[in-house]
Structure 1
Amino acid sequence: MAAAPLDCDVLVVGGGINGCGIARDLAGRGWRVVLAEQDDLAAHTSSSSTKLIHGGLRYLEYREFSLVRKALQEREVLLKSAPHIMWPLRFVMPHDPAMRPAWLIRLGLFLYDHLARREVLPGSHGVDLRQHPVGAPLQDRFTRGFVYSDGWVDDARLVVLNAIDARAHGAQVFTRTRVSHAQRDAQGWQATLTLADGRRCPVRARALVNAAGPWAESFLRETARPAGQEALATKSLRLVKGSHIVVRRCFEHDHAYIFQNPDKRIIFAIPYERDFTLIGTTDQEIHGDPRGAAIAEDEIAYLCAQASRYFKRAVTPADVVWTYAGVRPLLDDASGDPSAVTRDYLLEPNREGAPLLSVWGGKITTFRKLAEDAATEVGQMLGEARRPWTEGAFLPGGDLRDWIGPARRPDTDFERLVQTLGQRHPWLPGPLARRLARAYGARVGALIGQAHSLAGLGAEVAPGLYEAELRLLQREEWAQDADDVLWRRSKLGLHYTPEERQRVSDWLRSHPHPENDGTDMKVNPCS
């Protein structure tokens, strides 16, 4: 017997940062939302960023003032919404006179400081690298530098928190579920969701949002294309691969570096996961299916060479302990250089029948504003304008007041959370308490439950990873396999041996969650 269609107001295609952000905003305005992601949440581009909440200092050189201002405005909005997964970060730019003159850098930093209001992040200043600790890891030829502010984000967790909030507002979230068919009719959209096990679920939606990221163009050309009719795609994407390397820690302090390269690009060297340094990124245009994008040997060599131009201790390919690559879906603006392609987004409404909104481009820093604009556009197409709500809202776990009292500053508020967590649960080892606070914020109480000792968290499946956390990730965060847990919901895979990673995989296979089959965990309309 065929399953009855699942009725909703909006079907959102894509479980990356834009799709989950849009689903959250729409659901919070009261619309019935279904989100479908063909793989895991944040499985591709949205877990493969440089992990920065930033205005994009280098975009000033391309005169992208509107984009930079919009991103700068969003930095502190985001930092306040989830201080456990986002925090301020200071950046050091060593001055290389052969790259850009000092006056040009000072001008750029002045604009960066003043294009948007700052309450939390300090402004920029010059620094004597011969005297300051940030100069110690650098070659002696760098004597002068500049320091400025941006922010850091756990990108994959940001996506998951948006999905959790979307579900809390009534959205149904399907992972490992492909929209295999979508067609307009007089009443709206008729779509088919196909789960990994082959089950199919019919969906009727009044509107459809195409937030498929690198697949946004192909979705319109192949899946949402009515038989015998022209494709709905009117824009083209340029798929630009950005690759990163991770090496053992290159420096001891908590600042990050931004390095200027002879090819006029920049790379970052960022403190990462306590014991490591993250170096990236590259810009390589790719063609074909973006699934499975991986770093190439020439990219590893490039990142090592550019970092070695600055650090006293050279970075070599043999130092690399992990790599990752993501494909940025950038709107084709006819720029010859992939580095110069705009990172701004475009929302394209199509009213020739049931409402369709396609999301082109974008960057993680502006996801909330993009989602707000998208939800407003969908409301206009549906003839049901509803007020925005996310600018002052917390993401799940971000409201720390029950733990620390009134909020003060996002960075110091998190440290107060860690202190309070230790006081309430003195049996938690300090490093574990900090990691759990970082991952779950105010939600950490749901993980600990009634436990009064480590034994109360269940068996220790791998160092510092207990059964209680794995069950929470299955129950509340759509985690199904080891990659979901070790590389997206956390970065514990970087700290574990192959044998420890295998133990996590074995546990998940032997303890499947009864409701975690790729559909929304609260409602399963598929058969």
Structure 2
Amino acid sequence: MTTDSPLFDVLVIGGGVNGTGIAMDAAGRGLRVMLCEMSDLASATSSNSSKLIHGGLRYLEHYEFALVKKALAERELLLKSAPHIMWPLRFRLPHRPHLRPAWMIRAGLFLYDHLARRKHLPGSCAIRFGANSPLQPQITRGFEYSDGWVDDARLVVLCAMAAFDRGAEIKTRTRCIRARRKGGLWQLTLQNTVTGERKQYRSRALVNAAGPWASSLFADTMTMPAPRQLRLVKGSHILVPRLHDGPEAYILQNEDQRIVFVLPYQGRFSLIGTTDVDYEGDPAEVAIDDDEVKYLCHLVNGYFKRQTSPADLVWRYSGVRPLIDDAGGDAQAASRDYRFELNAPENEPPLLSVFGGKLTTYRLLAEAATGTLCRFFPEAGPPWTHTAVLPGGNFSTPARLAEALRWHYPWLPDALLQRFVRSYGTLCHRFLQGCERLDCLGEAFGGHLYQKEVDYLVEYEWATTVEDILWRRTKLGLELQDDERDRLQQYLQARGS
């Protein structure tokens, strides 16, 4: 490796929510940052979540009050930072005989309402379920409280865009295959996972934000022992035709004490999850099994009038949560908090490793991680993300943005306009600007996906494959048929994506 190799202040390994959040924060403090991701942004844990911005009501049962408090405080900040991809959601908790007494649940919800300051979300209340309820007739009472929903994969992409806008280099399909300390710097070899091409880089600091691979990265890339092992827990979800018509989500507790959410999803579907199963093996190969599908169907059938079965599945997915492996026990009780490990021998460049974490606390994690790194960069700026708005989020309310878009682009079908509001916010002007009718958007691939949007995703959001576009940048994989996917694939190949 020569002194001609590009030199960065911070190189981040991992393109999930933690890695992109750290890259964004560090770049915004004036540091020169590169992020490498071996696959696509949000291609693993960060796109396979329950898609919630929440304090974690169930974590109160495990006495994780500190985690819940900071998650609730972050929930308020995040809902303001990205109103296009995050929004409030009311949750209904049906009460059944196997649950804790009603007074105890009320006490827990009171604590949930007041652990952190709440400005925008209504508090909890007791409710009654009448004859028109979607629930089984024997379920007549319950509770309602507030949390939030997030498009998890788009959150990651927007963090990467914010990092890029502040000068960071973002390299997807790029694996760090070698990292060594030499001459007071990290000497790194990155390999393009598509072409096999290798390049050398240098960095003053290294961040290991590899998620489920954070422990194995030490042996595979740095030839040093991992300071901490992760507990890998598989969480699986299924998607079925809508089980209820209202806008609320449901939180269900089984007799085995496991929690399952039923979330309204993409208008026509219910998203059901999650399971908690210890996992061994390559996180890239995780998959839901038949027992998990049956378990989720059986649980919701005990609550809802509309019954579902494995034959009804529209989509299924699994993710591996990298949890801190503290002391065994039930997978559901394992902490969702995060910890850092700083390795910084005297006169050697620092290595900061991130273990654990959850979507809701990604910004707080990134701020703390970058603050730790800034000990080595006294010229770095102060924290800034607590008031930042993510790309596309510079509007007051979704309704007002929709009104403005109708004025600028009166030819846009309303369903398409609403999707643009919820996916891109004001970023949609980048591909709508100058268009005066629908056919200006170019070739239609199906599911209201047009050429202009595809070109934007490739040019600005690092999308290169059909899967990147249909399952992470959009959720139109639920809409397109096989022949339409093939046509999109041919288009991407023709434009060299």
Do both share a fold (TM > 0.5)?
A: yes
Deviation, 1:415, is 1.4
Task: Tell me what 1:212 maps to.
Answer: 210
1:153-173, CA deviations, whole angstroms, 9 ceiling, x for partnerless residues? 000000000000000000000
Distance 1:376 1:199, change over 3 A: same
1:206-259, CA deviations, whole angstroms, 9 ceiling, x for partnerless residues? 00000000000000122112xxxxx24110100101000000111111000000
- In 2, distance between residues paired with 1:182 and 1:384? 25
- In 2, distance between residues paired with 1:461 and 1:139? 41
TM-score, normalised relative to structure 2 = 0.97
Deviation, 1:3, is 10
- In 1, distance between residues paired with 2:4 and 2:484? 44
Deviation, 1:385, is 5.3
Of the three residues 356, 380, 384, the one matched with 1:361 is 356
Q: 5+ unaligned residues in a row in structure 2: which ranges?
A: none
Q: Secondary structure at the match of 2:386?
A: coil
Q: Secondary structure at the match of 1:461?
A: strand
Moved more, 158-167 or 4-13: 4-13
Task: Tell me what 2:119 maps to.
Answer: 119
Whether the 8 Å CA contact 2:31–2:380 is kept in 1: the answer is: no
- In 1, distance between residues paired with 2:470 and 2:178? 32
Question: Does 2:276 align with 1:276?
Answer: no
Task: Tell me what 1:82 maps to.
Answer: 82
- In 2, distance between residues paired with 1:139 and 1:370? 41
Task: Tell me what 1:260 maps to.
Answer: 253
Whether the 8 Å CA contact 1:187–1:354 is kept in 2: the answer is: yes
- In 1, distance between residues paired with 2:332 and 2:98? 20
Question: Does 2:290 align with 1:333?
Answer: no
Q: 5+ unaligned residues in a row in structure 1: which ranges?
A: 226-230, 401-406, 408-412, 514-527
Q: Secondary structure at the match of 2:281?
A: coil
In the comparison of the two structures, how many residue pairs are matched?
494
Of the three residues 392, 401, 407, the one matched with 1:397 is 392
Letter in 2 for 1:249: R
1:22-64, CA deviations, whole angstroms, 9 ceiling, x for partnerless residues? 0000000000001000000000100000000000000000000
Whether the 8 Å CA contact 2:446–2:479 is kept in 1: the answer is: no
Of the three residues 383, 393, 415, the one matched with 1:388 is 383
- In 1, distance between residues paired with 2:420 and 2:493? 23
Whether the 8 Å CA contact 1:462–1:503 is kept in 2: the answer is: no
Deviation, 1:383, is 4.2
> Pairwise CA RMSD of aligned residues?
1.3
Letter in 2 for 1:301: K
Of the three residues 227, 230, 233, the one matched with 1:234 is 227
Of the three residues 162, 185, 205, the one matched with 1:165 is 162
TM-score, normalised relative to structure 1 = 0.92
Letter in 1 for 2:181: R
1:39-93, CA deviations, whole angstroms, 9 ceiling, x for partnerless residues? 0000010000000000000000000000000100001100100100000000000
Of the three residues 406, 417, 430, the one matched with 1:446 is 430
Moved more, 195-204 or 40-49: 195-204
Moved more, 442-451 or 357-366: 442-451
Task: Tell me what 1:63 maps to.
Answer: 63
Q: Secondary structure at the match of 1:152?
A: strand
- In 1, distance between residues paired with 2:138 and 2:452? 51
- In 2, distance between residues paired with 1:43 and 1:160? 11
Deviation, 1:384, is 4.4
1:248-327 map, 5 Å: 248-327=241-320
Deviation, 1:6, is 1.4
Whether the 8 Å CA contact 1:247–1:276 is kept in 2: the answer is: yes
Q: Secondary structure at the match of 1:480?
A: coil
1:342-361 map, 5 Å: 342-352=335-345, 353-361=348-356
Whether the 8 Å CA contact 2:177–2:220 is kept in 1: the answer is: no
Of the three residues 420, 428, 431, the one matched with 1:436 is 420
Distance 1:210 1:7, change over 3 A: same
1:244-301, CA deviations, whole angstroms, 9 ceiling, x for partnerless residues? 0000111111000000111111100000011100000001111121112110000001
Deviation, 1:307, is 0.6
- In 2, distance between residues paired with 1:164 and 1:7? 21
Task: Tell me what 2:368 maps to.
Answer: 373
